[in-house]
Amino acid sequence: MHVCCLRGRPGSDWAFRARCDPALSISLLLEGRIQITIDDGVPRMLESGHTLWVAMDRGHTITHEWQGRTAFHMVHIHVGFHLLQDLAGLDPAGLPACLRPSAGMGQQTSIMISRHLQRIAAEIGQCPCRHPRARSICLHGKVLELLAAVIEHGAQVVGDVSMHGGGCTDHHSLMRARALLERHGDEAWSVPALARAVGLNEKQLQAGFRGVYGMTVHGYLTRIRLDQAIGMLLAGCSVTETAQAVGFANLSHFSKVFRLRHGMSPRSWLREFRNPRFDPSSG
């Protein structure tokens, strides 16, 4: 497994090429613009806020290219299929269709990064552990969390309904509803307003979210807002600024919802994340 966090502003055009074993590679571009090429194939342009998943069942070369004098921030994960089997009992056949390599061909899928994926990527990039072994364990855990989110995300966004048990005739409308919440999570969405926006009735919308996403519309919107809040707090935003930006009406409501999910207030969580009480390097 390889975890690479890249951030900067190169003075001139810059590229790096890596030779890879059969693996699942996940590139999450949080800022900037990048061109990615597999072997000598057609280059794929990845825009800020998007992720590219590459699943290859053979050895291959990945080339990343950036334009000079342009800021970028990318988290790149490379997990061999043998490690997927060892860590999570997954083989390629058990992955969603969008992550399953075709014989000798591979699979490439590019979609918008969800708030959930953004939050995990931010935590990978700012792992607080300093002891090498503790850091390795922390990153392995975060990569597994990212893989779980990618598999779930892939099943939901690309429409592999077999992955979440049972079909759904309104799947495309649910995908549109989910995308609206992801893009405009700071707005005061109600179930009736969201249902009207995607052409469903309220019962269809609520039942669809429970069946496909495993939670209510309100629960999904709350998760989006809290994931975005984590990213903003890690980026240095104040708790008050974060609460307002992600769509909470007041600071006390934000703190209450945050505490229900994380077991502590936003300020306490940030202190704990940056300065863990247990420092493995001292043991």
- In this structure, are strands 23-31 and 44-47 parallel, antiparallel, or unpaired? unpaired
Structure tokens at 123: 């935590």
C-alpha span between 48 and 33 (Å, rounded): 6
* CATH class of the structural domain 168-274: mainly alpha
Q: Give the CATH H-level superfamily of domain 2-161.
A: Jelly Rolls (2.60.120.10)
Per-residue burial over 34-60, b = 16 or more CB atoms within 10 Å of its CB, e = otherwise? bebbbeeeeeeebeeebbbbbbbbeeb
- The domain spans of the chain are 2-161, 168-274
C-alpha span between 216 and 221 (Å, rounded): 9
Q: Which helix (H) or strand (E) holds 75?
A: strand 72-80
pLDDT at 163: 40
**Which residues lie closer than 8 Å to 35 by C-beta, 6 or more apart?**
43, 44, 45, 46, 64, 65, 66
Q: CB neighbours (10 Å) of residue 213?
A: 18
- What's phi and psi for 8, nearest 5 deg? 165, -165
Q: Give pLDDT tens digits for 252-266.
A: 999 999 999 888 999
Q: Tell me, what amino acid is at 252?
A: S
8 Å CB contact between 189 and 181: yes
For the entire predicted model, the pTM comes to 0.67
Structure tokens at 195: 């249902």
Q: Give pLDDT tens digits for 238-257.
A: 999 999 999 998 999 999 99
Name the percent of the chain lying above pLDDT 90: 21
Q: Give pLDDT tens digits for 61-88.
A: 889 898 888 888 889 888 887 877 776 6
- In this structure, are strands 72-80 and 2-8 parallel, antiparallel, or unpaired? antiparallel
C-alpha span between 31 and 47 (Å, rounded): 8
Confidence of residue 271 (pLDDT cuts 50, 70, 90): confident
pLDDT at 282: 38
Region 150-157 average pLDDT: 70
pLDDT at 167: 44
pLDDT at 107: 66
